[in-house]
Amino acid sequence: MLRIVASGCVNPSTKVVSFNLNVFGIDCRFGNDVTTMPLNIKPADQSRFTYKNLRDLNDNNKAYKSPLAVICHVDVNAFFAQYEQNRLNLSHDDPVVCLQWNSIIAVSYAARKYGINRMDTLESAKRKCPHLVVAHTAVFKRGDPTWKYVNYRPSPVNHKVSLDPYRRESRKMMRIFQSFCDLVEKASVDESFMDFGRLVFKRLMLLFPELVKGMERTSDRLPQVPLEGFSDLDWQGIVILCDEDEEEKEGPVISDWDDVVDLIGSNLAYELRQMLIKELNYTTSAGVGRVKTLAKLASGYNKPDLQTIVRSRAIPDFLKRFSIKDFWSLGGKIGDLVLSRLSSGTVEEDEDQIGYIRDHYSLKDLISRFDHDRELAQRVYDIVRGQLYAALSSRIDIKSMASNKNFRGPSVNCSKDLLPWLDVFVGDLVLRLQDLDEETDTVRRPTKFALGMTCGRVTKLKQCTMTPIKDYAEFTKRLKQLSVKLLGELESTRKGNADFSSVYPCIQASLTISGFISLEGFANIDELMKKQSTEGRSEGSKPVFHPRKRRNLGIATLLTQGKVKSAEGAADDYICSECRKRILKSNMDEHKDYHVALKLDQDLNSQNQKHQEYHGQSQLPF
């Protein structure tokens, strides 16, 4: 048994936790009564890495493939519950649950101490903790396209849940991530991956300037890890150890540069998490490792408010503790299939399922066992070795967006019953699209639109194409029109002789927008209007989708911190008279359109203000 001091952002003070795992915890330097252990540096005779491996870290497109890659996964603890806790000005110690109708969808860690989990009903949770704070999600009222937090217990008959507040908050977090790191993949509303490559590279160059000298000798090995020069660097978080007594006594071994980049990565992750606490008051868990799969497993390994570091050398030991089903995309039937084809059937080997798979199957074996699904075979092969070097993808490629509701009882029996919900769906979609536009600096519009309805076991779907409309109010109008049109078509779809009763009573309905294009292809609003007036049903002559040019946020990184670069390209700049922002000449037209659109958008903006009303709310709904 190893006694360690657990790090934490919120409650870092003096809490001593015991772990019976081979991990190494480092205090976060909040307490001044803690003595930190010196780094355990034992340089290998020769580095396994080349200058190219190191240099690739500094390249957005190559870093993830480097054996020195540093990928971080950050996960907000019980996100919805923490959001509600902050919204209601409560502390991390108040037991909070987030409610959706009668079921609990998030439990704060303070509430978990009472044994409450997501399976509980509201009643059973209250029995476990009478002073539990219960916050229902925001809701749309039937017929109202704006969501609100209400001071009563909403009923599913007249309301639809809105997850918009969480998405907005998620966007704020993304901004923080992006201000810190130049390559961020949003994995879900409360999870992101980050490629720390450039940040690590810069810190390495500052700490060990001699590395710069060899940088051109790409295929040469890196020099030995030096004994000095680490400044006052220390591990942050919980470091997974190898099966060596030595590491437990002397700390995690640093013998090659992969250990050094992890050391730096642990500090970066910690700094980032502190930012999140400071700016938005969220506790998070983070994981740092070579690849996304490791980072993700690591972030879930120590919770809440803790981070876990998986050095390359610790990968086999770390993966022992997981099942193949713990990996993303293998949690369901595919994972079951993989297991059924590969399991040993013996008890001992099941304890190290991943190790067994690694040691008993060649890639060829896997391919034949997976019916020649080479892709799956390769994925499993890499996953069990912790070497699935996958690139981070940006959220630009979202394919569709849907707003959906399941109706309780026979409450939707005719068009008139459904129409108010269509308003809700449209409001939901437009708001979210607007959010996405702001987030990604694009004007994105769908070319496809679909209405789905379920009656009994039968789901019917009607789809149509649409021409992009830039202005949000106009776009909203159009969606409403089209949804009504589609409703008419769905109602009159008949199988044989059946009449429109085939869609009623409706137990589920949804609107989906998809086929997104960027309107940046249009030079100005006039051209767009012209395009609209010639709207046809055909799919031809679409404006080209230009993926957003990523903002160059690397400027906020270590080497340039505090410095503002303004000299470059000043000749091509122009200052907008409306907003005083510096705009590239080539973007002037687009920017003017932006202001036109802004004015047209006043309606929606006033709606947004309504959404702010809940802030500062002190009284609990119930």
Partner DNA sequence: TACTCACAG
Partner DNA sequence: GGCTGTGAGTA
Rule CB under 7 A: which residues touch DNA?
Answer: 100-101, 103-105, 118-119, 156, 160-161, 163, 187-188, 190-191, 328-335, 397-406, 408, 428, 448, 450, 458-465
Q: Give min distance, CB of 519 to DNA, in A.
A: 19
| Contact by Cβ (8 Å): 430, 557 | no
Residue 335 corresponds to which tokens in the numbers above? 């994972």
State which residue, 4 or 431, has the beta carbon closest to DNA: 431
Pairing mode of beta strands 96-100, 103-107: antiparallel
State which residue, 330 or 519, has the beta carbon closest to DNA: 330
Q: Give min distance, CB of 526 to DNA, in A.
A: 28
State which residue, 190 or 317, has the beta carbon closest to DNA: 190
Q: Give min distance, CB of 156 to DNA, in A.
A: 5
State which residue, 125 or 264, has the beta carbon closest to DNA: 125
SS3 72: strand
User: What are the backbone angles phi and psi of residue 37, rounded to the nearest 5°?
Assistant: -80, 145
Distance CA 268, CA 250 (A): 23
Radius of gyration of the chain from its Cα atoms, rounded to whole angstroms: 27
Q: Give min distance, CB of 395 to DNA, in A.
A: 8
Distance CA 113, CA 78 (A): 13
Q: Which amino acid is at 585?
A: K
| Contact by Cβ (8 Å): 7, 236 | yes
* 619 beta partners: none
State which residue, 98 or 253, has the beta carbon closest to DNA: 98
User: What are the backbone angles phi and psi of residue 423, rounded to the nearest 5°?
Assistant: -60, -45
Q: Give min distance, CB of 184 to DNA, in A.
A: 16
Q: Give min distance, CB of 393 to DNA, in A.
A: 10
Burial class (CB in 10 A: 0-12, 13-18, 19+), 157: exposed
| Contact by Cβ (8 Å): 50, 67 | no
User: What are the backbone angles phi and psi of residue 129, rounded to the nearest 5°?
Assistant: -145, 95
Q: Which residue has the tokens 């021409």?
A: 467
State which residue, 22 or 403, has the beta carbon closest to DNA: 403
Q: Give min distance, CB of 405 to DNA, in A.
A: 5
| Contact by Cβ (8 Å): 542, 515 | no
Q: Give min distance, CB of 524 to DNA, in A.
A: 29
State which residue, 163 or 233, has the beta carbon closest to DNA: 163
Residue 133 corresponds to which tokens in the numbers above? 């704070």
State which residue, 337 or 597, has the beta carbon closest to DNA: 337
Q: Give min distance, CB of 336 to DNA, in A.
A: 8
Distance CA 195, CA 213 (A): 25
State which residue, 261 or 295, has the beta carbon closest to DNA: 295
